[in-house]
Amino acid sequence: MAKIIIILLIGLVFEAVGVIYLSAGLKEIGEPKRISASEIGRAIGRGVTNKKILLGTLFETIFFCGLLYLLSQRDASLIWPLTSLGFFVTVMAAKIILKEEVSWVRWAGVVCIVIGAGIITWSEKMKERKAEQSKSTAAMVSQTRE
């Protein structure tokens, strides 16, 4: 489980940094002045040549590859909720790197999310213990039959 958590945490750092770069890049290119095909095309053109957007996309891709690996190793019902820890990492990165103001209400929401992720991790440990107990019970039953 420790290996999974380490990979997840590294992935979440890549995700947070990716989100920060995407946000900064999108602010640089700005909003389309009006909604039209040509204006949207120009915005897309500015986006695909913006270094921050490209870097953010790279970091998000690295996170996604790590997520694919984690999902291949463990239950989706464990891994996907744990990715919510990325909210904490992203809010910290936004506060530190982008100098965003983060209210106590937003922090309270992030804490609730982290508590929920902790409960999910605890439920996985309970599942593992139950599996170990079942194996040892089955071994004892097998020994008594011999």
pLDDT (0 to 100) of residue 138 = 64
Q: Give the domain ranges of the chain.
A: 2-145
Give the global pTM: 0.72
Q: How far apart (Å, rounded) are the C-alpha atoms in residues 57 and 51?
A: 10
The answer to whether 20 touches 98, Cβ cutoff 8 Å, is yes
Q: How far apart (Å, rounded) are the C-alpha atoms in residues 100 and 93?
A: 9
pLDDT digits (tens, 9 = 90+) for 125-139: 777 777 777 777 766
Which residue in this structure is represented by tokens 């909003």? 31
Residues in the chain: 146
Q: What single letter denotes the amino acid at residue 40?
A: I
